[in-house]
Structure 1
Amino acid sequence: MALDLTIAIPVRNEEKNLPGCLSAIGTDLARHVVVIDSGSTDRTKEIATNWGASVIDFVWDGKFPKKRNWFLRNHTPTTKWVLFLDADEYLTADFKIELRRALERDDVVGFWLSYTIYFLGKRLKGGYPLRKLALFKVGAGEYERIDEEKWSKLDMEVHEHPVLIGSVGVIQSKIDHQDFRGVSHYVIKHDDYASWEAARFVKSAANARVADQWTWKQRLKYRLMRTPLIGPAYFCGSFFLMGGFRDGARGLSFALLKTAYFTQVYCKIREKEISEES
């Protein structure tokens, strides 16, 4: 029996990842599966339609709201729950079993979800765990509002988190996170992420209203962003404290890529600050 759930999958040119994502969902898990497309030029929309998902076109104007909040506001799900799933995230059998039990609860309005991370073809054993608040009751809240003006090409909420009214639970079983688009795509994508992170930091770090909504992890990250130590701090935490060394060369490579990313964010922050001072 299908759950009172809408699964929303924001996409752009995801023909490599989407077939596996949809297959893992199956046809009897959720009442609705919606693919929100941002002008894909590959077979993404065809794949979604052939599978039986609903397809909604999204065109971003460079400002708030981005894709997830736009969907919640303009195509509000008619189900009790909504799960935002990226095309490179694959529901596991264990997760779907726990999901059915979790959605019977009435004492929470959302759930933190955990994800495995695959890198260079294999699952990572160590490193920082990936967790997102991606499952919640429709109407319980939306992703945090960030008023930007085309800081990057990112038309979807990336590091924003939902701000919900009510208690939040945890689903322990993990979703598999596997991106089959390769390391080059990873590096290019994270350059956009770094530009967005830097612009957000410069604009919102002094905004008490925005800062009050940050999680403790966000507070720690933004504190470290003020110094070039954020890169080395991430590396030490991920590779040594969180066991990234257990993955050998793959774990080292992944930690170094993330270290470079956070160092890039710091440099872009300083670049913006220097530009504004001159």
Structure 2
Amino acid sequence: MNNIPITVIVSVKNEELNLPSCLDKLVRFDQIIVVDSGSTDQTMTIALAKGAEVLQFQWNGKFPKKRNWALQNAIIKHEWVLFLDADEFVTEAFVDEISIKTKDPNFNGFTIQFENYFMGKKLCYGYGFKKSALFKKSKGAYEKIDEDLWSHLDMEVHEHPIIEGQVGVIKSKIIHKDFKDLEHYIAKHNAYSTWEAKRYLQLKEAKNSHLSLNQKIKYGLLNTGLLPAVYFVGAYFLKLGFLDGKEGFYLARFKSHYFFQIQTKVNSLKK
């Protein structure tokens, strides 16, 4: 039954491989909105065929980006909003849990956790992944970053939601499994590393203090040049990534290289 009073917003662009699995698992929610950025594949056709509402978003290079734009412009029927990417698949246990916990008036948002897959394999070790992507629309929005002159990403990727009041944790995990190939993963993180390098320099100049503990640690290590090595040692050895076999090694190396890209791009941009 489509009776859970939560609006799910799925942000997409050319997601014909991932979107069917994502939408198929959302049938218990009362409202599903797909926000597209001019897809050229079958993404729109799939979304409409699955019964989702579809909005087109064209970024003008200024605030707001896609998710904040949806909060401001979509006709959202419910107070609670869950933001998903097309490669994030909810489970029955997750849906059961949030259907209960969102009724608790003491919470205005929840942090959700992910079961990560890489190169088709479920990873049990390494660093976990979580984000606060479930919150009341009247109590939260994604942080505004002054990036009009340098950003090329039309969606909030590293921006964190700012949520008023208490934020809880959902114990049941969402599956994070991208059906696109490794080339897509590498290209995506190349784009992300450019954004992060420019963001790092912006923060350094502005001395912005509105950072999470993880961000402060990351940028502090980036400043010393040790972040790539520290990440690899932490993910592969301390967090037992080696127990995930070659996929665990590959992911630790790719993520370590991602931070090396940021570090290198920071030095290049300084010049």
Which deviates more from structure 2 when the two are superposed, residues 159-168 or residues 76-85? 76-85
Distance in 2 (alpha carbons) for counterparts of 1:102 and 1:48: 28
Structure 1 residue runs without a partner (length 5+) = none
**Paired position in structure 1 for 2:113:** 114
Q: Deviation per CA, 1:117-160, whole angstroms, max 9, x where unpaired? A: 10111100111100010000011021011011353431100011
Distance in 2 (alpha carbons) for counterparts of 1:259 and 1:151: 24
Distance in 1 (alpha carbons) for counterparts of 2:254 and 2:105: 41
**Paired position in structure 2 for 1:10:** 11
Distance in 2 (alpha carbons) for counterparts of 1:92 and 1:78: 23
Tell me by how many angstroms 1:268 deviates: 0.7
1:258 is paired with a residue of what secondary structure? helix
Tell me by how many angstroms 1:228 deviates: 2.3
Q: How does 1:56-205 map to 2 (within 5 A)?
A: 56-75=55-74, 77-149=76-148, 151-205=150-204
Distance in 2 (alpha carbons) for counterparts of 1:147 and 1:84: 22
**Paired position in structure 1 for 2:21:** 20
Distance in 2 (alpha carbons) for counterparts of 1:76 and 1:273: 43
Tell me by how many angstroms 1:264 deviates: 0.3
**Paired position in structure 2 for 1:232:** 229
- Structure 1 runs (4+) greater than 6 angstroms displaced: none
Tell me by how many angstroms 1:76 deviates: 5.3
**Paired position in structure 2 for 1:268:** 265
AA aligned opposite 1:211: S
Q: Normalising to structure 1: TM-score of the pair?
A: 0.94
Distance in 2 (alpha carbons) for counterparts of 1:102 and 1:207: 38
* Contact 2:31-2:77 at 8 Å conserved across structures: no
* Contact 1:205-1:211 at 8 Å conserved across structures: no
1:256 aligns with 2:257: no
**Paired position in structure 2 for 1:36:** 35
AA aligned opposite 2:5: D
AA aligned opposite 2:122: R
* Contact 1:152-1:192 at 8 Å conserved across structures: no
Distance in 1 (alpha carbons) for counterparts of 2:148 and 2:7: 30
* Contact 1:11-1:38 at 8 Å conserved across structures: yes
1:172 is paired with a residue of what secondary structure? coil
2:224 is paired with a residue of what secondary structure? coil
1:84 is paired with a residue of what secondary structure? strand
Tell me by how many angstroms 1:262 deviates: 0.3
CA RMSD of aligned residues (A): 1.2
1:8 is paired with a residue of what secondary structure? strand
Count of matched residue pairs: 270
AA aligned opposite 2:227: I
AA aligned opposite 2:24: S
2:240 to 234, 238, 243: 243
Distance in 1 (alpha carbons) for counterparts of 2:141 and 2:15: 25
AA aligned opposite 1:96: V
Tell me by how many angstroms 1:270 deviates: 1.1
Distance in 1 (alpha carbons) for counterparts of 2:62 and 2:122: 36
Identity %, equivalent residues: 45
Tell me by how many angstroms 1:225 deviates: 1.6
Distance in 2 (alpha carbons) for counterparts of 1:51 and 1:12: 16
